[in-house]
Each structure stands twice: as C-alpha cells, then as structure tokens.
Amino acid sequence: MQGLNLFGRGQASGARPAPVRHAPARPAPLPQAAPRRDPAPSRLAYRLNRMMLRPLMRRLIHVGLPAFLAALVAGIWLSDDTRRANLTGGIDGIIDRIQNREGFMVRMMTIEGASPAVDKGLRAMLPVDLPASSFDIDLGKLRERVLMLDAVETVELRIKPDGVLSAVVTERVPAVLWRHARGIELLDKTGHRVASATSRDVREDLPIIAGMGADLAVPEALALIDAAGPILPRIRGLERMGERRWDLVLDRDQRIKLPAEGALQALERAIAMDRAQSMLDRDIPVVDLRLSARPVARLGLDAQNAIRRARGQPELGPDGLPIDPAKAKKPHGNSGNHG
C-alpha cells in the first residue's frame, strides 16, 4: 500500500521534491472553530413550529394579527378629536374640489315642450341655484318631483356637455271636462287631472262629464262619446250615476240610462233604434237601457195625454194625476207640443 508510508521510498523517489519551507513560514494553526451548533431544533422550538403549522394559527398570525394591528393604529390615531376633524375636513375639501371642477358645473337649464306655467314651475323646482355642480343635482329625485305636477306626463332630464341641464317635458292633453261639487277640472284621456277650469266656456270643444267618480271612468266616457255619432250634436254630457254607470244626457232634458256593463253596446242599440224609428225625436224623456233584455222608454206627459185623448180618457196633469174634466175647463189648454 503505497502512500501509507509517509517517508518511504515512494515519496522520496517522487518527481516533485518536498518544498523548502522555513520554520516561520509554516501555516499558522487553524483558529479553533466555534463548536457547531446542534442542528436539531429544541423541544420548545419544535413544538412552536408545529403549532405555527396549524391552519387556524397560521390564519390568525397572517391575517388576524396584521388586521388587529392596523385597526389598533387607526383607532389610536383617530381617538384625537383634532385629527379626526382634520381628516374629515381634508376629505371634504378634496371632494369639494373635485365636484366643483369646471367640467362638472351646470350653468343653464333648457326646457322643451312645456307651457309657460309648467316651465315656471319646473324652474322653481330645481333645488339649487345655477350655476351649480352636477353632483348637487339629483336627477332621479328631481324627476320624481316634476312628475308630481299634474300637467306633466313624462319628463326626460339629462345633463348635457357644456353644463346644460336639459328637460324634455311631455304635457298631458286635456280630453274631457269634469264637473263636480267643487268646480270644474280638466282631465286627460286616462282620467288624470290636468288643471282646474273656472267655467265650462274655457274649453267648449271638450265634452263634459259629471258625477262622483266620473274621473275614474274617463276612458269609457270617451269611448261612449266617440260612439255617439249621429246624436253627438245633441249630447250635453255624461253623468256618472252611483259611481258605477253612465247616463247620457241630451238636450231637451232627454236621458239615456246605460248599464254598468256593456254600456257601449247599449248606446249603439239606442242609436240604432233612433235611426230606425227616430225614437229620440219623440216625446220620450228617458230611455232606460239598464236591462238589456227589457229596454224601457218613458213617454213624456204630452204624448201620454195625446194617447189618453184619443182613447177618450181624462188627461193627466203635470203631477201625473188625471185631471178632473169638471175642473179642466178652467185652466188654459195644452201648449201643443205633441212629439
């Protein structure tokens, strides 16, 4: 085993002689290395390490602790009144500065499709004085308030570029006049109030309806008036009876009582009868169509008397009672309106 013998011939006969070294040139003895620390974790470190590996503990340390610290710092910092005021003041200032920038300012308001009265009301409804920031104008709320005006059907509000608040208004169109105990009102075709009127002459072109609850049945009333056709010139108006059915009132105190259900058909029937027999030109003050199976025409006094005269019966007086022929000599005769 060569190499084991340090100073044997193998070493001596080697090609390389041993280096010449002087005693002082010997390498310094190696500094005593510090004893190596035990690589094993201590029992305590091991247990702590295992505890930290628990999912709950990990979450507590990684999420809970930073959150708690942040809340603690924020709480301590905010516990001082001055700091809190400074903070809120600063935030408010920033918000103000952004909201009052030139690009967000509303300078004028344009209103389309509104009558002067509505126009004035709309301008009065704007909660702020122009110019104002668009953040201060709550369009949804404003729209709700505008829609509370009776004369306005729809309104389209938008803030256009260059600071224009544009309102496109559709007004309600009055379709009918409604006379009730407290005056006269204009209603649109759905029965919604548009405005009040001082007298019937304000809108002579509109038909008139009357009676309690007439505004709730405006579409039906309009349909009836549309269907009136040939008797339209004679119509004075429609009256709501008992909040359930219509009476068609004609001139010469004539009245067509319509049923609650199927009023339109009943009216068409009456018109047909009129066309066939000129019923409405005769002395018939009331045509009662409330029961479709049994239409009733009430004869006027003159017509009844004409019949009674022809039969040789005593005539009837205005109170509906037969006039005693003995007394009948004294009063003046009939004025002769025989229908």
Rule CB under 8 A: is residue 34 a binding residue for another protein?
Answer: no
Q: Does 43 bind another protein (CB under 8 A)?
A: yes
Q: Which one, 27 or 242, has the nearer CB to another protein?
A: 27
**Min dist. Cβ of residue 10 to another protein (A):** 9
Q: Which stretch binds another protein (CB under 8 A): 35-43, 186-194, 209-217, 269-277?
A: 35-43
**3-state secondary structure labels for all residues of the chain:** CCCCCCCCHHHHCCCCCCCCCCHHHCCCCCCCCCCCCCCCCCHHHHHHHHHHCCHHHHHHHHHHHHHHHHHHHHHHHHCCHHHHHHHHHHHHHHHHHHHCCHHHEECEEEEECCCHHHHHHHHHHCCCCCCEEHHHCCHHHHHHHHHCCCCEEEEEEEEECCCEEEEEEEECCEEEEEEECCEEEEEECCCCEEEEECCHHHHCCCCEEECCCHHHHHHHHHHHHHHHHHHHHHEEEEEEECCCEEEEEECCCCEEECCCCCHHHHHHHHHHHHHHHCHHHCCCCEEECCCCCCCEEECCHHHHHHHHHHHCCCCECCCCCECCCCHHHCCCCCCCCCC
Interface map 54-73 toward another protein (x if CB under 8 A):
x-------------------
CB of 46 to another protein, least distance (A): 5
Nearest to another protein of 54, 107 (CB atom): 54
Q: Is 84 in the site for another protein (CB under 8 A)?
A: no
The only residue of 40, 148, 181, 276 in contact with another protein, by rule CB under 8 A: 40
Q: Taking the complex as a whole, how short is the minimal distance between the CB of residue 50 and another protein, in angstroms?
A: 6
Residue placing its CB nearer to another protein in the complex, 47 or 83: 47
Binding site for another protein (CB under 8 A): 1-4, 6, 27, 29-30, 38-41, 43, 46-47, 49-50, 53-54
